[in-house]
Amino acid sequence: MKAAYITDYHCVTPLGFDVSSNWKALLEGKSGVGLHDIIENQPAFYASMIDTERLNEEFIKNFSGEQKDNHDFTRLEKMFLLSLKPLVERHPVSDDTAFILSTTKGNITLLRKQQALPQGAYLSALAQKIADFFGFESRPVVISNACVSGVMAMAVAKNMIQVGKYKDAFVVAGDEISEFVISGFNSFQAIGTSICKPYDRNRDGINLGEATAAVFITSKPEENEKFSFRISGDSAINDANHISGPSRTGDGLFASIRNAMTEAQVTAEEIDFISAHGTATLYNDEMEAIAFNRMDLQQVPLNSLKAYYGHSLGAAGLLESIISMESARNSTLITSGNFEEQGISQPLHIIRENQRSEIRYILKTASGFGGCNAAVVLEKM
């Protein structure tokens, strides 16, 4: 069976419009989270948002020669296009190339004050618009499974390549901040009153964020590639615990991790680093701690990037995987932002300061509404 390798990536976030600027910001401990007025006549929320003026400037600079102008695309579509453009320029698109889009809400802002459902609000239409712009010949695949979407999108690409359906794939993931999303999480009383504190004793909720991220996955890495990470194992399990609350026993995440590690043929002792979901909500962080301990992973260095990026929903799993691969490439573990005192019942090796470390095997996990959980093992080649 063919293997699948990630050999290129790019991202657009509040911390920068490429991977290098994001990495530099993380090394310096910068956070994209701040107070923003999002819902009219309501107090400001802590969230991680991309500056719209800069986004438009970057879009015009990168696409000024294209046949469509700045007004033909929504804000989210511009983010998607900016994430994909460098990868498409470096890797040819053929009829053996898959295009996969991960998002939870897509162009949800198009529904604001609309009487009828706009065509662009359909996720299939959004994916087709991006695919057509870059000339993809295959039918786009949309992955929209709550907050595990980004991790699952990598797994879907890997599995399609393994069975020979495609020889390579472009995966792009993204979501933007909207009144709809903020209102939903606020109705759960799940939004934090400050920059979030994953796994911390004083955590009080989530920060939402926005970003897009893209990776190129291939069955045949070229000799001149700058790097290569094999997607060695993956799994997604739904424990059907609750419409929004995670399992108290971590059953779904535990099974996802076990299956992914079994496929990758790695033991707990071989995992060098865990990029966890870490939303800073009371029950999610506790559930993760239980699942990691059930897999004997409590001694593995672990971080959450939510205090830097907020929770970027459909982008989170892919963006955080990219940063994890940068950690491996630079042999550096990034501190788990805003963590001070452990506030979970099970021990975890939470990274408290940036540190040098050789990283070969990465475990990336994600969990979301409806009981969905996912895990992927990335191997540095």
| 255 shares a domain with 118 | no
Residues 349 and 241 placed together within one structural domain of the fold: yes
Would residue 34 count as lying in a domain? yes
Average pLDDT, the chain: 94
Which of 174, 198, 218 finishes a domain?
A: 218
**Among residues 185, 218, 251, which one ends one of the domains?**
218
Q: Which pTM value belongs to this model? A: 0.96
- Show which of 163, 197, 218 is a domain's final residue: 218
In a domain, 210, yes or no: yes
Check whether residue 255 and residue 209 sit in a common domain: no
Q: How confident is the model at residue 66 (pLDDT cuts 50, 70, 90)?
A: low
Q: Tell me the residue type at 174.
A: G
Q: Determine the structural domain holding residue 298 and report its residue range.
A: 229-380
Say which CATH number the domain at 320 has: 3.40.47.10
Rounded to the nearest 10 degrees, the angle between the axes of helix 52-63 and helix 75-90 is 40
- Higher confidence at residue 120 or residue 269? 269
CA 190, 193, 198, 203 torsion-angle sign: negative
Same domain for 239 and 185: no
Q: Per-residue pLDDT tens for 278-323?
A: 999 999 999 999 999 999 999 999 999 999 999 999 999 999 999 9
Q: Is 224 part of any domain? A: no
From CA 37, how far away is CA 48, in angstroms rounded? 12
Do 275 and 160 share a structural domain?
no
Taking the C-alpha atoms of residue 17 and residue 13, their distance in angstroms, rounded to an integer, is: 6
Both 148 and 108 in one domain: the answer is yes
- HSE-CB at 300 with a 13 A cutoff on CA atoms is 25
DSSP 8-state secondary structure symbol assigned to residue 89: H
Whether 355 contacts 332, CB under 8 Å: yes
Q: Is the pLDDT of residue 174 over 60?
A: yes
Residues 234 and 280 in one domain: yes
Q: Is residue 223 a part of any domain in this protein?
A: no
Residues 198, 323 within the same domain:
no
Do the Cβ atoms of 3 and 39 come closer than 8 Å?
no
Count how many domains the chain has.
2
In a domain, 265, yes or no: yes
Tell me the range of 164-168, 186-190, 238-242 where mean pLDDT is highest.
164-168
